Amino acid sequence: DAGVIQSPRHEVTEMGQEVTLRCKPISGHDYLFWYRQTMMRGLELLIYFNNNVPIDDSGMPEDRFSAKMPNASFSTLKIQPSEPRDSAVYFCASRTTAGNTEAFFGQGTRLTVV
Amino acid sequence: GENVEQHPSTLSVQEGDSAVIKCTYSDSASNYFPWYKQELGKRPQLIIDIRSNVGEKKDQRIAVTLNKTAKHFSLHITETQPEDSAVYFCAAVSSAGGADGLTFGKGTHLIIQP
C-alpha cells in the first residue's frame, strides 16, 4: 500500500476562490481524519469519518468548510470561499478499528491563500 | 469531546540529557494514548503508544507513562541525540459513543543543543 495519499501537495489560490483538497486513505482503514496545522494552533481536528459517515465535525471552523466521503477510498475537504487565514497545512490521516492502532498521515497539503 | 493539554510548548536540552513532555486529557473514557514525532516539513509519525491497561511502556531510549487516575501521561527520552530534535505530539483516543476520535495536544518543540 502506498499509504495515505493527499493531493495537491501545494496549493496557492486567491482569496474568494474555492479550494478542494483530496485524500485517499489506506485500503481497509475505516476511520479518516482531517487536520489543520498552524504554528499558533498546532494540529486541529476538523472532522472525522467512520465507515464514510461523518462522526464529529465540531472542529470545522465555519460554514465555508465542508467535507465529504462518498466512498471508502476517497474524501474531500472544500473551502468556499477561501480566506488568507485559511492558509495552513492540511493533513489527512486514516486508521483501522481493529484494536486501538496507529493513525497514518498523508504528506499534507500546504495551502496558501493570497 | 476530548481535550488534550501538552507542556511545555518548547523544550531545550543538552545532548545526552533527558527530556520529559507531559500531557493531560479530559475524557475518562479515553483508552489509547499515542505519541507522534514530526520533523520539519514532514508528516507526523508514531513513535510509541500506550493503552489504558498499562502503566508504562519502553522502547529503547523512549518511554511513556500513564496515570489514569490523574488523567495524565508523559513521554521520556533519555540520552538525547541531535536527531531527536523535532515537534512531538501527544494524543488521546476515546471510544465513548462507539466511535474513536483522535485528539492531539498542541505539540512540544524539542531542541537538542550540541
What is each CA distance from A97 to A89, A100, B13, B75, B99, in whole angstroms? 26, 6, 37, 25, 9
Residues 8-47 of B with CB under 8 A from A: 31-32, 34, 43-46
Contact indicator for A110, A38 with CB cutoff of 8 Å: no
* pLDDT for the residue numbered B95: 65
Contact indicator for A56, A67 with CB cutoff of 8 Å: no
User: At residue B91, does pLDDT exceed 80?
Assistant: yes
Task: Beginning with the edge strand found earlier in the chain, give each strand of the sheet holding B19-25 in spatial order.
Answer: B4-7, B19-25, B72-77, B62-67, B56-59
Beta-carbon pairs below 8 A across chains A and B: 53
Which of B43, B103, B107 shows the shortest C-beta gap to A105? B43
% of chain A at pLDDT higher than 90: 78
| Gap between the Cα atoms of A35 and A16, Å rounded | 22
* pLDDT for the residue numbered B2: 80
Average pLDDT score, chain A: 93
Express each pLDDT in A59-79 by its tens digit: 898 899 999 999 999 999 999
Mean pLDDT value of segment B26-42:
92
* pLDDT for the residue numbered B62: 98
Using CB atoms within 10 Å of the CB of residue B69, give its burial: 0 to 12 exposed, 13 to 18 middle, 19+ buried. exposed
* pLDDT for the residue numbered A61: 86
User: At residue A99, does pLDDT exceed 70?
Assistant: no
% of chain A at pLDDT higher than 70: 96
Mind telling me how many Å the CA of B43 is from chain A's nearest CA?
6
